[in-house]
Amino acid sequence: MSSTSATSAADQQLLDHAHRHGLTVTQKNLDVWRHARLLPGNIPGGGLGRGKGSTSSPAPESFDLVLGLARHAGRGKRPKDLALLLFAEGLPVPETTVRAAFSAAVETLFIHGDDDEQAADPEERLDDLADHIDEEDLTVTLVPARARRIDERIDRLARAGAAAWPPAELVAMDENPGPSSSTPKDAALAAATAVISGSMSMDNVGDMLRAMNPKAAANPVASLVETTQRDAPDVAGKVLTEDGTLTLGPAGDARDHLRDLAGRAPLEDLATAWVTVGRVREWALGLCSRVEGELDAGHLGEAAGEWQNCRFLAARLVILSTLKDRLWPPAQRALDTLLLLCQFEEYRRLDARMPGCQWHLLGAEGMMPPPTRELLQDLIGRDTATARAATD
């Protein structure tokens, strides 16, 4: 590649470096990437003397970044997508650029009324939102078609073999048997309410759990949620507000908390959570395929058992969310990363309120995806080691 008058010697080094690796990079590419703060500028050197200008050299990290950018850049790839992809590879993207990309991912959670500069208080806004959902006939798909088909096929085989789920002992624990009264519109409003207010009533939580298993004969886990205040007042007093609402973090719009988290979470934690949500997605899709394989063979095996264990617990939420996000662009993965870290922060908050909380229960199959459980165990171990070091 020959140099041109518009290309400095330092930039030519980067262009040649990309060419040697079989990649095409232009001066315009370098300019665009620098403008997006994905690539640092060249480092000024000494003067050449006699009015001949000065020298400069590429920043050391620029060589690896140029190769990464050339591999990932393409039609439809936004600068913030590139920042996330490079960060995921462990390349030295400027920290401010990485954090800005994670923060921007939160903006994908757009809710009607966000662009109204004269937005009313939360209560009035929720009323307006309810009207909007009704007028526009907006809904939320709680159970994607693939999950619904798996549920129905398992139920048919289970009934044929007299092994219906849940077993009679658990069915008897449900104090509110019957299908959920929640409609798809109710689900849309509940989801938006959780984002805007950062909280959800236990009744709504229980109802959503039921709505995610519309064909189930009973949902004992939903019943436990719905009766928490009555049956476990000591616990409820520590984790719920006086009106029985479960807070999902600091008070206020949940997106503000996620943006704050994007700006302060250690980069190591962001990287680890990014990898974990990828492993969670692989697990969820793999479980679907394994269960379908057993169903095609006409028997319920280990995979179907794991599916049934997940069906009424938190892992079910992840499976359904994975099936709904079929494309999963970098921004959605970044949002899932922040949500996972937010979840772990909430665990720490609960642990502070209830020392010795029964975290071992999270190890039960179906309570959470295996990769999430493994990361939680690692974080708990790290926190324990840090606490011990502080007291020594």
Q: pLDDT band at residue 325, thresholds of 50, 70 and 90?
A: confident
Tokens 């926190």 belong to 383
Proportion of the chain above pLDDT 70, given as a percent: 81
Per-residue model confidence (pLDDT) at position 51: 46
Q: Indicate whether 381 and 245 sit together in one domain.
A: yes
Whether 48 has a pLDDT exceeding 50, the answer reads no
In a domain, 62, yes or no: yes
User: What is the reported pTM?
Assistant: 0.84
Measured distance between the N- and C-terminal CA atoms of the chain, rounded to whole angstroms: 61
Same domain for 139 and 245: yes
**Domain membership flag for residue 344:** yes
Residue 242 has what pLDDT?
A: 64
Window from 136-145, 161-170, 336-345 with minimum mean pLDDT: 161-170
Work out the pLDDT band at 2, boundaries 50, 70, 90.
Answer: very low
How many domains are there within the chain? 2
- If asked whether residues 85 and 228 sit together in one domain, one would say no
Element (H, E) at 5: none
Domain of residue 93 covers 9-43+58-108
DSSP state of 240: B
pLDDT at site 120: 60
Which candidate, 162, 152, 171, places its Cα nearest to that of 214? 152
Amino acid (1-letter code) at residue 311 = R
Q: What is the mean pLDDT of residues 324-337?
A: 93
Within this chain, do residues 140 and 224 fall inside the same structural domain, yes or no? yes
Position with higher pLDDT, 29 vs 218: 29
For residue 259, the model assigns a pLDDT of 95
Residue in 238, 240, 234 with CA at minimum distance from that of residue 206:
240
Mean pLDDT of 282-299: 95
Residue-wise pLDDT for 91-121, tens only, equals: 999 999 999 999 999 998 888 777 766 666 7
**Do both 319 and 205 map to the same domain?**
yes
Phi, psi of 74 (to 5 degrees): 175, 180
Query: Is 116 among the domain residues?
Result: no
Whether the per-residue pLDDT at 4 is higher than 60: the answer is no
Are 147 and 213 a contacting pair, CB within 8 Å? Answer: no
Tell me: do 179 and 311 sit in the same domain.
yes
pLDDT band at 303 (very low <50, low <70, confident <90, very high): very high
Asked if 127 and 104 sit in the same domain, the reply is no
* 211 lies in some domain: yes
Residue 67 included in any domain: yes
DSSP calls for 253-280:
-HHHHHHHHHHHS-HHHHHHHHHHHHHH
Q: What is the pLDDT of residues 186-217, one digit of tens each?
A: 777 878 877 887 777 777 788 888 888 877 77
Closest CA to 202 of 226, 235, 230: 226
Report the mean per-residue pLDDT for the chain: 83
Looking up tokens 């401010």 gives: 96
What pLDDT score was predicted for residue 380? 63
278 and 243 belong to one structural domain: yes
- The verdict on 155 and 82 lying in the same domain is no
Report how far residue 225's alpha carbon sits from residue 246's, in angstroms, rounded to the nearest whole number. 11
Q: Are residues 103 and 145 in the same domain?
A: no
d(CA 107, CA 101): 10
Asked if pLDDT for residue 131 goes beyond 90, the answer is: no
Q: Could you give the C-alpha distances from 237 to 76, 246, 351, in angstroms and in order?
A: 49, 11, 14
Assess whether 343 and 196 both reside in one domain: yes
Q: Is 274 within a domain?
A: yes
Q: Does residue 94 share a domain with residue 63?
A: yes
Q: What is the mean pLDDT of residues 296-311?
A: 91
Q: Which whole number is the average pLDDT over 164-186?
A: 73
48 falls within a domain: no
Going from the C-alpha of 372 to that of each of 201, 248, 289, 369, 380, the distances in angstroms are: 25, 18, 20, 5, 12
Query: Which stretch of 58-67, 197-206, 249-258, 358-367 has the lowest confidence by average pLDDT?
Result: 358-367
Assigned domain for 50 exists: no
pLDDT of residue 179: 65
Mean pLDDT of the 307-335 span: 91
Token pair, residue 57, equals 């050299």
User: Percent of the chain beyond pLDDT 90?
Assistant: 42
